[in-house]
Amino acid sequence: KLETVIAIDNQWTSTCRFADIVLPATTQFERNDLDQYGNHSNRGIIAMKQVVPPQFEARNDFDIFRELCRRFNREEAF
């Protein structure tokens, strides 16, 4: 059994319901990002531009992981 379960998501999922800590992630509208297209073939990459600022305390997944690594002295992972 895990001592602590941490979830990172932008929706209240079943994983979040069972987590001890939930860290709110941004949606695709709240960050600049890259995405793949082409159904399951992933034939190309498109740039996604931020449309609205992050809502409430939401943060980009990359920033969440980078901050966790910093706090656990694992910054070399990023």
Residue type (1 letter), 4: T
Instruction: Supply the pTM of this predicted model.
Output: 0.77
Where in the chain are the domains?
A: 6-77
pLDDT at 46: 92
Q: Which has the closest alpha carbon to 12: 69, 66, 58?
A: 58
The residue-averaged pLDDT of 36-61 equals 90
pLDDT at 78: 67
Distance CA 13, CA 36 (A): 23
Q: pLDDT tens-digit profile of 20-46?
A: 999 999 999 999 999 888 777 778 999
